Structure 1
Amino acid sequence: MPISKKWVILIPVMAGIAALTALKKSSNPPTQETRQEQAKLVRVINAPSLTVIPTATGHGTVRPNRTWEAVAQVKGKIVEKHPALLKGAIIEAGSLILRIDPADYELAIAQAESDIQATRAQLDELAAKAVNTEKSLAIEQAALALNQKELERKRLLVGKGGISRSDLESQERSLLTQQQSVQAQVNTLNLFPSQKALLKAQLERHMASLATARRSLANTEIHLPFTSRIAEVNVEQDQYVREGEQLVVADDLDKAEIEIQIPITQMSHLIHANRPIDVLNLNPAETLQQIGLSATATLQENGLSASWDARFARLSDTLDPKTRTVGVIVEVDKPYANVLPGSRPPLVKGLFVQVTLAGKARPDSLVVPRSALHDHHLYVVNEQQRLEIREVEVGMLQPGFATITDGLKAGEQVVISDLVPAIQGMLLKPSPDPATQQQLSSTAGGALAL
């Protein structure tokens, strides 16, 4: 390559390098700005001190408070059946629903009454015989006295030679005969008490047979003891039934029961008494008032929404060892009252409902949303608007809130929004959340529970 061509290439390159060097020497170094801390925007509430109503919710199946089974106590053919005796029918208390053929038991009553009359006639006859025998005994005793006087007279005459020895012996034989007659009457009288006792025993047996027959006759009629809804019908007209057969099953309509399972930890918050309770000598009304539980049953299904006032009745007899729950039984009065077709159904057997229990009110409780708890820690905004991760002591956990017994003061700002990452001392920009504050007050006061 010719030398002139090399310079043509090198001269522009060298000029560019020289220009860059001049610019570098003449320019000022970049100024480094101080980095400022950015505040994290968080939602907060002021921890309120409220009157708290502890609640617990469970689900259970409705069942009748009482179920009555009509069992045949006598045998025979069904001769009468209530026309409305069908499964699902509602029949008033005292209605005659079945009648068993009473003919055999009416005959038994007639036979027992006849036996009683015959035995009473025998007792009357025995009493008359006793009176007659006593009179006969008096006559025989008078004759005996005469014979004794005559014997004494003849004994005196024998000594004087007035009568023969054979006449005296004849009188002695007559006296013995009369004594035998008196003894026979006495023996007859002595048998009367045992004969009377035998007849009285027979009379009592016949009266017992009469009572049994009358009871059997009464058992041929089967009446409903209370207004009921028929659950089962196992007999038909003209069917022969035997003793012990189940004929009808009926459910009481006066009360309904619902059993739900509540965790033990929640029950400890609900049941609160001011003094010890003697479980073996409970006064039910006083105990229920002292415990102070109220309840509501709610149905939410397929557009239906209905509720019923319930009453805490008792606890179940066992604790479920697997789920660590205790059975709570509540009662609902008049489950078939105030029915509105299409919107409020009756509280029928088998309906699956939700039951909410509410305990006694606990005033001056410091409350925070349950979602604000982080493993027994709360995020608190301190006076410097910085995050303070504070350990607290939780008193009561409820589905929507928790009470704090130590580590927090009323009015302090508690962070309720998700803070990731949460760094101790980080700068925060708190933003009050009035909706959550209001919802917390309503939930803690039991508005959502009942």
Structure 2
Amino acid sequence: MRFLRKSLTGLFLLSLTFGLLAYAGVLVRDAVQVRMNEEPRVPRARERVFTVNVVPVVFETVVPELSAFGEVQSRRTLELRAATGGALIDLDPAFVEGGQVEAGQLLARIDPADAQAAFERAESDLLDAQAEQREAQRAIVIARDELTAAEDQVALREQALKRQNDLLERRVGTAAAVEAAELTLSSARQSVLTRRQAVATAEARIDQSATRLRRAEIALDEAQRRLDDTEIRAEFSGTLSDVTVVAGRLVSANERLAQLVDPRSLEVAFRVSTQQYARLLDSDGRLRAAPVTVTLDVFGTNITAQGQLSRDGAAVGEGQTGRLLFADLDSPRGFKPGDFVTVTIDEPELPFVARLPATAVDAASQVLVVGEEERLETVDVQVMRRQGDDVLIRARALDGALVVAERTPLLGTGIKVRPLGAEAAEAAPEPPAMVELSDERRARLVAFVQGNSRMPDEVKTRILAQLEQPEVPAEMVARFESRMGG
């Protein structure tokens, strides 16, 4: 009996399974037949409308800005070199990297022992030359006096000879006396010649002493310069850089010790294209003294200085293009030589131009304008300047028109759009209406929210916080009350 009962139960379950499978097959067959007998529904084709951002075209007079990158450099940079060799002594404490020095300040001294000894020898030679000159001047005075005495002797001898000749004519004197007088006169005249030679020698000695004195003075000046060369002084006020020496070091002649930079006399050198350079010239072809703004970006903190164009490079340079320009900085506070900066120059103003985003103009200098029935039209424009992410364009009959700000491959002529922008933006939505709840009404809403098991906990917390406010959005209250059936 037990086996029979289990067998009958199995047969019953098997029959029930086959019956359910047959019923399911009938349902699937009926559904497929109904689906196949239905008429196909073709959706009505609708024109696709794109939403685009537009900007109005407003023509005005704009001052374009030319941007370039340049390097700050000092207009006065001096290399400090040793004029002579020796050991460095008396090194100034400011003679270090970044040291601030004043004009004429003694920075270091090279051991002046040899130069001092040469200077003192030159002084001694000068004293000898001066003494020689004084002695030559005294000698010429004596020589001239001796010449005068010799000439007086000649005059006396001539009178004596004349007297002897008179005596001989009166037959009082003798011929021997006359001959003796003539011999004495000849000797006196020979003495005059000797004295004249002495005077000439004394005059030559004066010239030689003057030459020797001049040479001694030159030698002394040269010794003084060599002594001065042992001192290293600052030619102007500035900052020291590239210092390579310490006290006691032996240096050679013409060795570079440091570099002196004037931090208050700075300029910026930058390169622009030839086309940009042509826009900076005046009617005479000379570079305009245009105002310049130099900006140094230091991790988001900008250091700015004003200046003006001063000059341009004489040549393009091998392997270079464009033009090299220089601008003087008025107050270069915070700038250092070697800074990489951004240079902005004000160009001559452009009348009747409009500023548009760069994405509004394609490579063919065309823009998309919202025309009649809000359909796009292609209009040619003239690109005057590119200013960062903007362009300055000039076109006819576009004043006040709406131009697509961002072009995409999906946009083209004849496409219908819905413009969004400064002039075509929809009105801002009004704030939701608020209502004040009574205590009974507020309690019912709170109980409904707390009893809703399908609502997430974070949503419940947010809604309960809103219900605790004096005023509650009317839309939320209406939605909950409709669910509550009240």
What is the TM-score of this pair, normalised by structure 1? 0.75
Amino acid at match of 2:367: L
Deviation of the 1:124 alpha carbon:
2.0
Deviation of the 1:313 alpha carbon:
4.1
Is it true that 1:140 corresponds to 2:150 in the alignment? Answer: yes
Amino acid at match of 1:415: V
Deviation of the 1:82 alpha carbon:
1.6
Question: 1:253·1:334 contact (CA, 8 Å) conserved in 2?
Answer: no
Aligned to 2:324: 327
Match of 2:177 among 146, 149, 167: 167
How many residues matched?
386
Aligned equivalents of 1:414, 1:258: Cα separation in 2: 40
Relative contact order (alpha carbons < 8 A, sep ≥ 6): 1 or 2 greater?
1
Deviation of the 1:331 alpha carbon:
4.4
Q: How does 1:105-184 map to 2 (within 5 A)?
A: 105-184=115-194
Aligned to 1:231: 241
CA deviations on 1:377-428 (whole Å, 9 max, x unpaired) are: 1212234533221222222233222222344532222222324344434444
Q: State, as a whole percentage, how many aligned pairs show the same letter.
A: 24
Is it true that 1:379 corresponds to 2:368 in the alignment? Answer: yes
Is it true that 1:218 corresponds to 2:218 in the alignment? Answer: no
Question: 2:368·2:413 contact (CA, 8 Å) conserved in 1?
Answer: no
Match of 2:304 among 305, 308, 333: 308
Question: 1:44·1:414 contact (CA, 8 Å) conserved in 2?
Answer: yes
- Higher strand proportion (structure 1 or 2): 1
Deviation of the 1:160 alpha carbon:
3.8
Is it true that 1:417 corresponds to 2:384 in the alignment? Answer: no
SS in 2 for 1:237: coil
Question: 1:64·1:255 contact (CA, 8 Å) conserved in 2?
Answer: yes
Question: 1:391·1:407 contact (CA, 8 Å) conserved in 2?
Answer: no
Aligned equivalents of 1:421, 1:428: Cα separation in 2: 11
Aligned equivalents of 1:31, 1:232: Cα separation in 2: 84
Aligned to 2:392: 403
CA deviations on 1:337-371 (whole Å, 9 max, x unpaired) are: 4xxxxxxxx43444444333333444443332222
Aligned equivalents of 1:263, 1:255: Cα separation in 2: 27
Aligned to 1:6: none
- Counterparts in 2 of 1:370 and 1:272: CA distance versus 1, 3 Å: farther
Aligned equivalents of 1:322, 1:424: Cα separation in 2: 46
Could you say what the CA RMSD is over the residues aligned between the two structures, in angstroms? 3.3
The structure that has the greater radius of gyration is 2
Aligned equivalents of 1:59, 1:72: Cα separation in 2: 37
SS in 2 for 1:250: strand
Question: 1:51·1:363 contact (CA, 8 Å) conserved in 2?
Answer: yes
User: Unpaired runs of 5+ in structure 2?
Assistant: 1-36, 426-486
Question: 1:50·1:364 contact (CA, 8 Å) conserved in 2?
Answer: yes
Aligned equivalents of 2:120, 2:424: Cα separation in 1: 84
Question: 1:310·1:330 contact (CA, 8 Å) conserved in 2?
Answer: no
Amino acid at match of 2:392: T
Is it true that 1:276 corresponds to 2:288 in the alignment? Answer: no
Larger displacement relative to structure 2 (151-160 or 348-357):
348-357
SS in 2 for 1:319: coil
- Counterparts in 2 of 1:210 and 1:408: CA distance versus 1, 3 Å: farther
SS in 2 for 1:85: coil
Aligned to 1:355: 343
SS in 1 for 2:185: helix
CA deviations on 1:11-62 (whole Å, 9 max, x unpaired) are: xxxxxxxxxxxx9xxx9xx9998x7755543322111123323223333444
Aligned equivalents of 1:32, 1:80: Cα separation in 2: 100
Aligned equivalents of 1:218, 1:185: Cα separation in 2: 49
Aligned to 1:292: 290
Aligned equivalents of 2:410, 2:377: Cα separation in 1: 13
- Counterparts in 2 of 1:320 and 1:52: CA distance versus 1, 3 Å: farther
Is it true that 1:365 corresponds to 2:353 in the alignment? Answer: yes
Question: 1:230·1:248 contact (CA, 8 Å) conserved in 2?
Answer: yes
Amino acid at match of 1:134: R
Question: 2:105·2:234 contact (CA, 8 Å) conserved in 1?
Answer: yes
Deviation of the 1:235 alpha carbon:
2.7
Question: 1:390·1:407 contact (CA, 8 Å) conserved in 2?
Answer: no
Aligned equivalents of 1:172, 1:389: Cα separation in 2: 134
CA deviations on 1:101-139 (whole Å, 9 max, x unpaired) are: 223223333222222222222222222222222222222
Aligned to 2:382: 393
SS in 2 for 1:140: helix
SS in 2 for 1:81: coil
Amino acid at match of 1:319: V
- Counterparts in 2 of 1:228 and 1:291: CA distance versus 1, 3 Å: closer
User: Unpaired runs of 5+ in structure 1?
Assistant: 1-22, 279-286, 338-345, 437-450
Is it true that 1:102 corresponds to 2:112 in the alignment? Answer: yes
